[in-house]
Structure formats: structure tokens, C-alpha cells
Amino acid sequence: METDAKQTGQKFDNAVVMGAGIAGLFTARIFSDFFKKVTLIDKDDLPNEALSRKGAAQGDHVHILLKQGQMILSRLFPGIDAELEKFNIPRVNWASESVWYNRFGASSPYLSQIETHSCSRILLEFIMRRFVTRIPNLQILSKTEAVGLYSINMGKTITGVQVKTSEGKEFTLESDLLVDACGRNSPLPHFLKSLGFGSPETISVESNLGYAGRLLKKPKNNPFAWKQVYVQLAPPENQRGGILIPIENDLWLVNLIGAGSDRPPVEEKAYLEFAKSLRKPDIYQAFVDF
Ligand SMILES: Cc1cc2nc3c(=O)[nH]c(=O)nc-3n(C[C@H](O)[C@H](O)[C@H](O)COP(=O)(O)OP(=O)(O)OC[C@H]3O[C@@H](n4cnc5c(N)ncnc54)[C@H](O)[C@@H]3O)c2cc1C
């Protein structure tokens, strides 16, 4: 489809994507093949480096890019692997360098073809954003919040989005196609309701899990047999788990996980105690054993 559109030159006029998280960046990248102009907006002040931001606060936690995701990323953003490697990010073999404790035991190590980059979500998003910024028919408007839908015919057809900048300037972005990639706190149901469409049905799944994270300086020579560890919860007996992955800047990113009311604490001593209480010692050892 990508080739067809490029060969025939048939393009629609313009598309607007609300939200420049991972979903918005992918969407905008793909639309740039089909629309003459793509505008990607985000209410955050999108940083020019790999930094956390309020609009995607979950970005500080462990995020795993699986193999299929990595392949799609490389196809849509040619050169992104090399760009990520400039940040000296580790590669992890999922069968020989990962330990995954499930509720029945642990998988035996073996050499597999499944190898992925391991980095923070913040870095991945920043690099994707840098690629998207270079696309000539695509513009990113940061500090620009979607505040309502725009309709030229009293709400019969949505023909754009009303936005407001952090300086208080309001204007309309007209579009042939408008996509909502604002994540779980999307204002779209509210926008639709105010135009008389009613709210779409919402399905809410309560995972009942809580996470607390830490960054650890990785030792120069990893004394452990693994590069990453996942201690999965084993309910109902054991409601605690944890995950440790290597990321850029020679760091380990750790998330301790608790289910129900048993949430991992943030205070230092209690955090270590929680790590120590996991049914496997590997993550705790990473805190204390070198
Ligand atoms: C602890 C934890 C671990 C996770 N691990 C994984 C994992 O390993 N792999 C995985 O695939 N997923 C994981 N997830 C889920 C993942 O974080 C989300 O599914 C993903 O971030 C959703 O991406 P998104 O682009 O749809 O939304 P978001 O990342 O939430 O981005 C939404 C964007 O919209 C912007 N925005 C919001 N409202 C407006 C508005 N009115 N106007 C303009 N902009 C607006 C925000 O600023 C933000 O940039 C994890 C989540 C958590 C909490």
C-alpha cells in the first residue's frame, strides 16, 4: 500500500493526530505516506532529549520492546537501530540471557534468534520523535492541547480539532482525517458528548497491580548469568513480582510489582525489604551483591 501510494502520487490532503506518544508517532509516520500534510499535536512541551514528561508519566517504568515490535519499528523508521545503538543500548537474547520465573519454574537457557534492544521507553520515544521531525510533510506542534472537535455542519461531520497552546492561543486545525492517540486519559469521549453524539461505551479492565521503580548503576562486569530477570507473580500464594532490564547509560531499570493492596513501597529500606521478599533472589542480589 505504501508503494502504491507513492507510485501513483495519490494523496489525501491533510491529517491531524492528537497525542505524540508511541501510538501517535507511529500513526503520524504512516500517514505521512498517504497525506500531503500531517500535523501531530501534543499538550506537553516535548523535550529535545530523552526526558520523562507529564503526559506519558508511565514512561519511567519498564517497557519491553518485543521482537515483532522491533521489526515493525525498523521497517517504518529505516536506520533507527543504528541510531539507538549510538546510545550504547544493550542487546538481550531472550532465551540465553533472560531468566523468566513463571509460576511453574524457569525456562532453561538456550541460544535463540530472538534478540532485542533494551532501552528506556523515554529514549525510544525520543528517537522516534527525532525521526518523525525529519519527515518533510509532517509538523509537530508541542504545547498544543486538543480542547474540542471542529465541525462545519453543526456536528454532522467532524472536520477538525480545536486546539489551545500553552500561551493561551486558540485556533482550529482542519483535517480530512483526525485520529485520537491521547492514551487512556483521552478527552475524546467528552468532546463527542458535547457535540451530542453521546459517549462511546467504555470497557475498563482493572489489573489491580502497582509498580514502583528504581535505576541502578550496572556493575562493569555483570557478575550474574543473566542480562534481564522477570519474577512473575504466582497468585494466589504469591502476589509479588519484579522485573529488571538493562538500559542505556549502563543502568538497570527495576520495577517491583504488587497485586491488590500489597503495593511495593517507595521508601528506600522498605523497597529493599520488598525486593528481598520476592520468591526468587535475583533482583534483590542486584541491589546488594556487588
Ligand atoms: C508500568 C507499565 C509498564 C508497561 N509496560 C509496557 C510494555 O512493556 N510494553 C508495552 O507495549 N506497553 C507497556 N505499557 C503500556 C504502555 O505504556 C501504553 O499502552 C502506551 O504508553 C500507550 O501509548 P499511547 O501512545 O497510546 O498513549 P500515551 O503514551 O499515554 O500518550 C498519549 C499522549 O497524548 C498526549 N495528550 C493527552 N491528552 C491530550 C490532549 N488533550 N491534547 C494533546 N495531547 C494530549 C499526552 O501528552 C501523551 O503524549 C506499560 C504501562 C505501564 C503503566
User: Could you give all domains of the chain from N- to C-terminal order, each with its CATH number?
Assistant: 1-63+121-204 (3.50.50.60), 91-119+206-290 (3.30.9)
pTM listed for this prediction: 0.93
What is the 22 CA–ligand 1 centroid distance (Å)?
Answer: 7
What is the 77 CA–ligand 1 centroid distance (Å)?
Answer: 20
Q: How would you write the chain as a 3-class SS string?
A: CHHHHHHHCCCEEEEEEECCCHHHHHHHHHHCCCEEEEEEECCCCCCCCCCCCHHHHHHHCCCCCCHHHHHHHHHHCCCHHHHHHCCCCCEEECCCCEEEEECCEECCCCCCCCEEECCCHHHHHHHHHHHHHCCCCEEEECCEEEEEEECCCCCCCCCEEEEEECCCCEEEEECCEEEECCHHHCCHHHHHHHCCCCCCCCCCCCCCEEEEEEEEECCCCCCCCCCEEEECCECCCECEEEEEEEECCCEEEEEEEEECCCCCCCCHHHHHHHHHCCCCCHHHHHHHCC
Tens digit of pLDDT for each residue in 64-113? 999 999 999 999 999 999 999 999 999 999 999 999 999 999 988 888 99
pLDDT for 233 beyond 50: yes
User: Best substitution site from 173, 182, 244 to test ligand 1's pocket, by max atoms within 8 Å of Cβ?
Assistant: 182
pLDDT score of 196: 85
pLDDT for 49 beyond 70: yes
Tens digit of pLDDT for each residue in 99-151? 999 999 998 888 899 999 999 999 999 999 999 999 999 999 999 999 999 98
**pLDDT interval class at 197 (50, 70, 90):** confident
Ligand 1 lining (C-beta closer than 6 Å): 18-24, 41-44, 55-56, 58, 61-64, 145-146, 181-183, 187, 211
